[in-house]
Structure 1
Amino acid sequence: MRLAAGLGIALALGAAGGGWWLPAGVVLAGLLVWCLPRPEVPPRAAPLAEGARLVARLGVVPVFASACGTYLLPQYRVPVAVAVVLVVTVADASGLVLARYWRGWLLGIVLVGAAGVVALCLAIAPERGTGSGPGWTGLFAAAAVLFPLLAGRKPDRWLAGTVAAGLVVCAAALYQLGPVRLGLSGAPLRDLLAAVDGQAIEPLLAGVVVIAAVPAALGALTQARGTLPRPSGSVLCGLLAAVGAALLDPSRALLVAAALALAEVLVTSLLTLSARRRDARAVASAALAVTLLAWVPGPDLLIAVGVLAVGVLLVRPPARTRAA
């Protein structure tokens, strides 16, 4: 669900940075999720780890909200994105949780929609454009922007299924549009339909995106809130997400989300290594996180650092007044 919700925007960024390496970027992002160690955080560093977890989960909410605005009403993208954040904030504050039955139906609808797009891409021969995109280093750029859509998953069959679905959709999109045309697109799934003369089903595509994005945004905001109490914790997280949805365009929102997710991996891995000197997974995940962070633009890294500081302040317990 999470990968499907943000894949439209991630495809554009991944292709712009990764060219034909976009499917391999899905695999590398999944490998990083698999390498994540079991966190062992010293008590004094708990606010840093919890703050990193909070902002990493919260960082994808503006991405999902922007996806709704981009595909539902592109001319009113910002108001729609802020409205989506408001809806999921109210839902989380009231304790709404989707039952497993409904999650199954929603996932089925998303998979059917993805299968339809892939079938259309393969049914019509593509028009080849010029240019092939960057070289093999594009693998790291693609993995960086796709990682936040996989972060938070446990290394199990669901992660494997999500990576497989991402591989199929990315490969079909690259086959139909090519890396340059895909990289220049702000709404690649809509452009895919235009390329295969499928504009008539654009409203259906918008509906599938909303069905995927709104529950994903709700789940991400609930995970971000964590142990913060309702409704105050929901309102605080919702305000931060609304600011991101209003001020960041979809591309910038995903890059900031990537920086936040990778920062959480780096913080958790380093804190785990400080507690346990020997942990191969912590070393591998820290090395991969640093490598992928190097491909995130500097301004987006600075925004991520500022958001991380806000997250630490939100989870830090209030100082106790010393007894006279």
Structure 2
Amino acid sequence: MAQVSLALADADTLFLKKLSAYLHKSIPHLSLELFTEPQAFKKWVNKMGDADLVVISAQFYRQLGSIESNNSILLLRDCAGSFLPEKVKSINKYIPAESILKEILSVCAEKIPGYLYHEKGSGKITTVFYADGSDAFNPFAQALAYYKASEGDKIIYLNLDEFSNTDLFFSGNNDRGLSELLYYIKSKKDNLYLKTEACFSTDMTTGISFMKGHNNPDDIKKLSQEEISTLVNIFKNQYSSWQTIISKAFTYDLITSFLLKEASKVYITGLNYPTSIERLKRISAVIIGYEEDEKIALKDKVVFCISPAANGQRHANNCIEGFSTLTLPYWDFESSGLFPPSQYYISQLKEAIGNC
């Protein structure tokens, strides 16, 4: 990633110290100039000091008087609105540091040209398809993300259903999400890496990075092959030390076929119920046909997962011929709630995955 240069100016030294520490931790290759005295800042500007963005408190800005600078400015509002300059972008100073970071990245992304892709990356993509079209009885993808995060892995969670339920499981402070990223992709915006960073939220309970669910079903439904490729390759190329878990109902469309090809691991889940088992078998036939048509190997990375339809249900011998098959634990919503999963569920999930 290219270097991002920032100048931070605020007389509140404690705030500046904490914000700069957070930014250094969050932005690789960050160049940072700090100013707590207006005269020092003026001197820097007069010497043609340059930064991708100047982040400055409104009170500090008022103390500067008249000043000319070619740098982009983001004001942190900490005084009455009537004293704020017109046509200068501003946000509330007293919001979570993550929200300030996202605004900084969004503005910087407009200034720094290029996509800034690393070389072709080795980021791990794990896809969970729901054969029944829903994760209602067993939200396996979310549980897998929770389990992997608890094991110390860096996890990104993404839902690509037309009607996303991401916000039922994860919560964060960022107003941006998948809708904004899809807009950037469809508009062929430059610097998708920083724009992607600006769309992430971090779930405070689990530490999982995610994107808020998109608002319009057409955002997903009308993705082209090129746009799907761009979306998936962002995570594969730019987040090589992360594991991205993508969940989606199994519908045989462009997104599904692309994920089958690009994912490192594919889980396909269904209920231990006759109609669901039949659907899993038909999906297996589709995958075999796709494997033959595309001349790619899929069987070794595809795992079929069968969820109990009721608590205490006996596990039938429902192996999907030619594929690894595992039995998932029962998710007891009445006892443990929607999310996170119980420790018993996680222990059973760990055992099931380990035996696969």
Q: TM-score range by the shorter chain?
A: under 0.3
TM-score (norm 1): 0.24
TM-score (norm 2): 0.22
Instruction: Give 1 or 2 for the bigger CA radius of gyration.
Output: 2
Give the number of the structure whose residues are more often helix, by fraction: 1
Give the number of the structure whose residues are more often strand, by fraction: 2
